[in-house]
Chains A and B, each alone.
Chain A
């Protein structure tokens, strides 16, 4: 992998973050050169979410997804039924071999010169390949060398599909670290069955004119934004609840924190539970019969984990981010694909118990639609912020003034319940700072050998004051 870490003008990458002051330069959000380096240093190495296995249940099914700025085909092979992922670019002249969002196919035929690939990515045909002297000695059909570019590693994690371009990256389980159980929990159905979800298709997808880190690093785990951003929705009586007359849940001992793993970059607003089992179900849905379903599911889940404490997880327990830009809670996953320095594509996936009856699936889908996205009543507030942050930060004057990331700095502590994770007050910016620790580590690292967890002695935390300890220095 090419090492393109370089200074911008007379500043090193590290100089754009001032841990002692708790500030981050706006250049990180508006500078094209830094964006180009992020694509190489972060998006070529990190594990990235491709989608969910429920999108491609049948042999030959495919969806077009993304890894950073690039399109990727996620395909279930016709013969061995394994899921694979390939760059959507013909090896001959670079044309997209697939121009549909999803479908079922025998092969991907490039519309340019008919180079054709099977669902394992193998080149199985070229146009006019049988003519005298054409290709004959230079391109044996089926050549492994000229198949579609396959991802370096792929992982099916309880139904969610993740991939990295880097074959030397750590396993996805190790990449998640202590958040593996939290993600697993969020991918369970409401009765606690592993991989018990399916996701509504097509996903909500929209472009927003902002840098990917604006929503990707700060939208989740930013509890303070609700003070003003969602004030108007609350004034209109448009709450996050799913119905009128929501019951007040019985007390279930728990603690809410902003948490961040500075070595891994993951973290968010999470709830630590102090009691075994599952809270009692409290009615909350408009639609008849839905509460009955979820109450019965909750009773089953109680039996399943009666002797365990739930891992910190999503809805009701906050939500958390998987570095670099995936946001997870127990009913939705949102992720942010960079397109350009100031253009980001946002995808939202809404999960539902795959074995739920139709009236429950309908209710969940309706809730997702009215709550989320540009026409939802709640998230449109967020997008207004994201859309204006970028133009208001990229001017010659604006970019001289750093962003404030000092909220709660110096108050974080390590907690044995999630080893290696810094725990701080829920209205602090601990999770944001953790992402910048990891961001800088990736931007400076020559390879995964420099990065945790392959480098087990690494301390990527750049910020001072955790448990009274000094921060890591270059």
Chain B
């Protein structure tokens, strides 16, 4: 059963900062990716896209800013 991370709540910044590698994020543009790196700066996550509105980006790695992340859950 997957765990949902509350990245929008009062402790959201800390929860975001601590998101583990392997967790899945859904972005505001509908893209879905797996976290492959978290610099723990509270700002960015490195993700590999499994779904993306631009299909050429599926499989690509990218750093996403916190305001692009709609939700996060463990796989």
Residues of A within 8 A of B (CB): 105-107, 109, 114, 116, 118, 124-130, 141
Contact = CB atoms under 8 A, between A and B. Distances in A.
Given A114-B44, A130-B65, 20 more contacts: A105-B39, A106-B38, A107-B39, A107-B46, A107-B63, A109-B39, A109-B41, A109-B43, A114-B65, A116-B43, A116-B44, A124-B44, A125-B44, A125-B63, A125-B65, A127-B65, A128-B67, A129-B65, A130-B28, A130-B68
B36 to A, nearest CB: 9
A106 B28 contact: no
Contact of B63 (A105, A116, A128): A116
A74 B20 CA distance: 27
A287 B68 CA distance: 60
Nearest to A142: B62
Contacts of B44: 107, 109, 114, 116, 124-125
B23 interface: no
Given A107-B39, A107-B44, A116-B43, A124 B63 contact: yes
Which of A107, A129, A141 gathers most chain B CB within 10 Å? Answer: A107
A377 B43 CA distance: 48
Contacts, number: 42
B67 to A, nearest CB: 6
Contact of B67 (A106, A109, A116, A130): A130
A124 B43 CA distance: 12
A39 B16 CA distance: 43
29 contacts: A105-B39, A106-B37, A106-B38, A106-B39, A107-B39, A107-B41, A109-B39, A109-B41, A109-B43, A109-B44, A114-B43, A114-B44, A116-B41, A116-B43, A116-B44, A116-B63, A118-B63, A124-B44, A124-B62, A124-B63, A125-B43, A125-B63, A125-B64, A125-B65, A126-B65, A127-B43, A128-B65, A130-B28, A141-B62
A141 to B, nearest CB: 8
Nearest to B40: A106
Nearest to A107: B39
Contacts of B68: 130
Nearest to B64: A125
A155 B37 CA distance: 29
Contacts of B43: 109, 114, 116, 125, 127
Contacts of A107: 39, 41, 44, 46, 63
A141 B44 CA distance: 13
B48 to A, nearest CB: 14
Contacts of B46: 106-107
A105 B44 CA distance: 12
B30 to A, nearest CB: 13
B44 to A, nearest CB: 5
- A-B interface, 7 closest residue pairs, ranked by CB to CB distance from nearest: A125-B63, A106-B39, A109-B41, A124-B63, A106-B37, A114-B43, A107-B39
Contacts of A129: 65
